[in-house]
Amino acid sequence: MTLEQHRPVTLLVMEERRRDEVYPKVVREELESLTRWREPLTREQLAADPSALDGVEVLLSGWGAPVLDSVLLGHATSLRAVLVAAGSVRPLTTPEFWAREIPIVSAASANAIPVAEFTLAQILLGLKQVHRIARELRERQAYPPDPPVPGGYRSKVGLLGLGEIGALVASHLRNFDVEVLATDPVVDAATAADLGVRLVDLGELFASCSVVSLHAPLLPETEGLVNGDLVATLEPGATLINTARGAVVDEPSVLPVLAERQDLTAILDVTFPEPPVAGSLLYTLPNVVLTPHLAGALSAERGRMGELVTAELRRLILGHPLQHAVAPAAAHLRA
């Protein structure tokens, strides 16, 4: 089948304020050339008139995606695919949707790119202990003489989780003279070795690495996994980075350790709850660097996800295999 033989009826449903970032003009123009394009809607507009799905073959979305429940699916009798320009499909999928066996695409791999870039930058800063030394310099108003730091030569970096983002971070670190350790119960030693990583248990990861970066999905077995006892084993001056999910860290037990161990630095791009409650120590501890989801795709970076969706739509039209379809069993891993 050629692109000219079938131009599927396509509807974009997502929040309006991010629409032009995720699907910028050049991407929208390509989508409109590939499809019979309908006027975009918000989730609220679709809920008010689900009949707008009548005849729709491809549903596009992003932030503010509609929940694919029995009501909406009842109107989407022609639906062939759902393509989501965001990282997670869990909030919008239901048992009724999976029962229809409609392919759904996630742009998680596109969102992984800026997260991995942010993480790499923080790892390199952590190996030089930039945040700690800057704090001490301000406090003492004097330059420290030849400060001892792990640096980027033969030091150890730990990754908790080797999913899409963790694996990408590991691949970036292959360009540096560091040893990368990882903990991931679903990754075997051969796969880790292909990434240039050595698998260790969680205790060794925290006790032996100068920087530990968290990339674990939020599951029942990972909730609160990183607790105060683990963080207390970090070596002097170590850095903890969390760009995964806030609830992977047991903040009530970790915060007292950070308060006592001013040599440590915690770079937290995610928290639980989010944002932190008023008066939380996360706002005031000098060794906590708090950022509001800066790691994920922001502003123009979000257009990369729209480009991924467009490429997948082209494959769908041509009858080629989709490269970013999410299997039902894997949907919960894209938290």
Lowest-pLDDT choice from 35-39, 49-53, 142-146, 291-295: 142-146
What pLDDT is attached to residue 88? 84
Strand partners, 249: 226
Query: Once rounded to an integer, what is the mean pLDDT over residues 51-59?
Result: 97
Fold match between domain 9-106+299-333 and domain 112-290: yes
Average pLDDT for 302-324? 97
**CA–CA separation, 166 and 31 (whole Å):** 31
Asked: is 9-106+299-333 a CATH 3.40.50.720 domain? The reply is: yes
The per-residue pLDDT for 335 is 43
Judged against a pLDDT cut of 70, whether residue 218 lies above it is answered with yes
Give just the sign of the alpha carbon dihedral 324, 328, 329, 331: positive
Provide, rounded to the nearest whole percent, the portion of the chain with pLDDT above 70.
Answer: 96
81-122 tens-digit pLDDT: 999 999 889 899 999 999 999 999 999 999 999 999 999 999
Residue 334 has pLDDT above 60, yes or no: no
pLDDT for the residue numbered 1: 47
Q: How confident is the model at residue 332, as a pLDDT? A: 56
- The predicted model gives 266-284 an average pLDDT of 96
Is residue 181's pLDDT more than 80? yes
The model's pTM: 0.92
Q: Report the phi/psi class of residue 297: left, alpha or beta, with left for phi > 0 and alpha for psi in -120 to 50.
A: beta
**Pairwise CA distance, residues 121 & 224, whole Å:** 25
Q: Is the pLDDT of residue 3 over 50?
A: no
| Predicted confidence band of residue 8 (pLDDT cuts 50, 70, 90) | very high
State the average pLDDT over residues 298-327.
96
User: For residue 46, what are the CA distances in angstroms to 41, 66, 67, 113, 228?
Assistant: 6, 8, 10, 31, 46
Give the domain ranges of the chain.
9-106+299-333, 112-290
**Longest CA pairwise span in the chain (Å):** 71
Q: Looking at residues 12-28, what average pLDDT do you find? A: 97
Positions annotated as catalytic residues are 245, 274, 293
Find the mean pLDDT for residues 303-323.
97
Query: So what's the pLDDT on residue 328?
Result: 83
Check residue 134 and give its pLDDT.
96
Look at residue 329 and tell me whether its pLDDT is greater than 90: no
Give the mean pLDDT of the chain.
95
Check whether 312 has a pLDDT greater than 90.
yes
Q: Write out the CATH class of domain 112-290.
A: alpha beta
- Evaluate if residue 72 carries a pLDDT over 80: yes
Measured torsion, CA atoms of residues 276, 86, 167, 161, in degrees rounded to the nearest 10: 40
Q: 303-318 vs 25-34: helix axis angle to the nearest 10?
A: 10
DSSP 325: B
